[in-house]
Structure 1
């Protein structure tokens, strides 16, 4: 790609150590992202039947409740014998997806498998197990991760960023800062063409990922229809318009080139704000404008680098005006870039520990390290090299050209890190998931109960129980005791009496679950002085 070869063509540049470091950064991104499974960006809050529930009869419907509204893609019920039933009748009620069950289920363990699109445009998948009568061997319903698809998505994102930032930003710099001088024009055109090819390519990959389909199905109409129905479809559409406007600005008249280039730059911010982690975060009245400003600032800065470097190399006398204008404009642009980036990072990360404990946080630290290097280099250029270069010092001009080449490489590395966020849920989404309760429904002929443990991970929790008769009638129990056991871990059963706060539920507060995993939850219900009903079911306690 032109962006990769530009610094290497500059005479006298010795940047092997920097290049090696940036290659290492890209390798680190691949190691962090590619081996793992694509994680969810909308958190599943509850399922009905609950995961691990044992029911006495076939349910009439299923439901999935998420942390944000979703759009269903593929809903499947896997029977105990491994055969699959497509679930095509469903309703969306806010954040809950209600699914009709078209048949009476037989005894054994079933798997409810789902695949949906979250608000940020990324696919989310998962499954829940429940049994009718008695559990059996769970049927296989897992998906094989397509590593080649993940690699293609990452490459497509990287090339699209290069087209938007280096291409559209470069066209803007040529029109507004360089008075459309020809130095760097070929580089900008190459970046724009790269983006124009990467945009539809990325859209097709989005459809494949949304449906969990292999690369061989890339050309199928259903793949593209699904991709266009996601919020990423708007990103690609606006990106194509921005890239086209920028390309037209390079061929337009002196009157039209500036408005076209400006419209293209605005399109970069709009495309990034249309989908993605940051734009989907709340409050969106703040996050979407911040993403818009962040994207346009990146395009302004990085887009000017290659044209300015090439102008300083080939036409140093004429490049003085370009350098002066860029030098004056870059300080407020960097301020906007830094402020918007800091606020977005705070919203996404929430607490410092997430920088280490999550893949998203580790990628953010890598990006911050590269940005620190970039800001340091840019500061040296701005405060040390710019004035002598404007004065005509040829040696300083050569040093500035070398430095700009390194800045371009660092910018490409940052684009690669940002593309990696496509596969990592932000800590804010993980925090929402961690705060959700672990819930089960226990149903027997004599009694039934809805048990909820909040939060649903190991540590200090509270349990809430709703007790009913086997036919959904009210059950006036004299006493309820919660017993949690995990024999495989050598932990003695945890036995706690429940209290009745007066709202129709039974509660156990100040309960500590020491370790995560599958626990057995038993409710000892004292119906009368002479009758005790015991009902139990497994419940999954998360690690965090």
Structure 2
């Protein structure tokens, strides 16, 4: 049996390596990173549902964050598809050249872009030339086979990063030379190594909207390598290989497995929803710490359970080290998870009203069971198992087996976030203003309604002359109407703000859709300029 002195020495050593680990984590994570988020479409030109008098020379799509275009198509009224290949980026706006005059009728502008967080985003808008016609078929069906493949690959990648790398770390630092569970850990690492490049290829398929049969097409892999997800995959591959080397080279196992554990946190922080929010230094640090906390906890379960089941000589010492170390790790894991959840979800109601929130709610239910089991193991079953009471180890092994099952279920739920934008991104898109530019030879105006959806809004109007000079108006009146819904003119007098703009406060837009806008600008006592256009209001 281990003496009390030796036990205290090992516990003190455990605290030292844990402190070193967290110090390295914080140094790595506070490095500056670009601010990325899940992009959402906030404005288009032409507006969705617009009826144009003449063929436009170009189209524009404005997003809440920077994007990279992948596929841009125009579906004509006769159903033929015109690829749009000439475009350029202007800040958050994709400006697309129209290569040919358009025929009369309804067209569909279909777009697929990849946001800076590495996730593809797609959609379509309809507009008509001359008069609306029957809309051409341009609906995008969900490829459930591809989604299932992406989900399975993501679960396998999580298994490699958390069960594989975490298991290698546990064998090196906690098992005291024991090798029980080595085959399980190696299997998880190999599964992760297979899933990592597969996940990258599936990312390319999803980015281009291609079926599974095209996975070997070079264009698919080029598209995948243009997304930030590639950083996650490169780091994950390096970490998984280090984990395998830690199993193969036990003498260097501590150094290799520690590097692999740090790589797990870095891989998760390199892309994705959570690491994309502001402030970057905090969010990426939280993702990093959350990832290594999961790997430490979950990775140790299988080796520890198998060591106890087989009554290995060092099983009791393994249990004691894990029990001593797990409390601060779980504390950090919980704190990081709470911070991430608060930022991503925003309001408690989003847990029930958004797909992302529904998945988080399911994860919280699973975590409640997982933490309950962990508490039972820590405070009820561990001490009897350490004292070798009859049947105590068997009960603890069973409980650990249930923990592993719940961990896999959590992985499955977390993998579903790949297909859902977080409420944070949805709220950011909803808060974006609706804006139009009205230009005539005599005067022009930039009008924005913030936020650009139904409900209370604030109108901001910037006036200029037709040659972009200052326009000093005596009075400005904003008139909104929606004749197709039977809403007549809503007239509001604007007041001049201190920054030179004209504002209308307390305005309520009751319905979504296309609203007619009129600005009556009193230039002098005898000169009135009227500007007219339409603006799209989101639900």
TM-score normalized with structure 2 length: 0.84
Cα offsets for 1:26-84 (capped at 9, x unmatched):
xxxxxxxxxxxxxx921223333433445454444333332222222112233344333
CA root-mean-square deviation: 2.9
Aligned mates of 2:352, 2:484 — CA distance in 1: 31
Aligned mates of 1:159, 1:460 — CA distance in 2: 47
Question: Do the aligned partners of 1:174 and 1:180 also contact (CA within 8 Å) in 2?
Answer: yes
- 93 and 136 in structure 1: CA distance in 2 versus 1, 3 angstrom threshold: same
The answer on 1:301 being equivalent to 2:277 is no
Q: Match of 1:277?
A: 273
Q: Match of 1:3?
A: none
Q: Which has the higher contact order (CA 8 A, sep 6+)?
A: 1
Q: Offset of 1:291 from its aligned partner?
A: 0.9
The answer on 1:338 being equivalent to 2:348 is no
Q: Offset of 1:304 from its aligned partner?
A: 0.6
Pick the aligned partner of 1:101 from 98, 101, 111: 98
- 106 and 45 in structure 1: CA distance in 2 versus 1, 3 angstrom threshold: same
Q: Match of 2:115?
A: 118
Question: Do the aligned partners of 2:443 and 2:529 also contact (CA within 8 Å) in 1?
Answer: no
Q: Match of 2:256?
A: 260
Q: Match of 2:287?
A: 291
The answer on 1:170 being equivalent to 2:167 is yes
- 88 and 536 in structure 1: CA distance in 2 versus 1, 3 angstrom threshold: closer
Question: Do the aligned partners of 2:105 and 2:128 also contact (CA within 8 Å) in 1?
Answer: yes
Provide the secondary structure at the position in 2 that maps to 1:509. strand
Aligned mates of 1:377, 1:506 — CA distance in 2: 61
Provide the secondary structure at the position in 2 that maps to 1:74. strand
Aligned mates of 1:511, 1:225 — CA distance in 2: 48
Cα offsets for 1:116-158 (capped at 9, x unmatched):
1112110011233444455544443332211221122111111
Q: Offset of 1:443 from its aligned partner?
A: 7.0
Alignment of 1:274-423 (within 5 A): 274-423=270-419
Q: Match of 2:515?
A: 520
Tell me the matched-pair count.
501
Aligned mates of 1:57, 1:504 — CA distance in 2: 34
Q: Specify every segment of 5 or more residues in structure 1 that has no aligned partner in the other structure, as ranges.
A: 1-39
| Greater shift in the superposed pair: 47-56 or 111-120 | 47-56
Q: Match of 1:457?
A: 453
Q: Specify every segment of 5 or more residues in structure 2 that has no aligned partner in the other structure, as ranges.
A: 1-36
Question: Do the aligned partners of 2:304 and 2:315 also contact (CA within 8 Å) in 1?
Answer: yes
Q: Match of 2:18?
A: none
Provide the secondary structure at the position in 2 that maps to 1:112. strand
| Greater shift in the superposed pair: 399-408 or 88-97 | 88-97
- 155 and 350 in structure 1: CA distance in 2 versus 1, 3 angstrom threshold: same
Q: Offset of 1:348 from its aligned partner?
A: 1.2
TM-score normalized with structure 1 length: 0.84
Q: Offset of 1:225 from its aligned partner?
A: 1.5
Aligned mates of 1:99, 1:162 — CA distance in 2: 42
Aligned mates of 1:79, 1:71 — CA distance in 2: 24
The answer on 1:250 being equivalent to 2:247 is yes
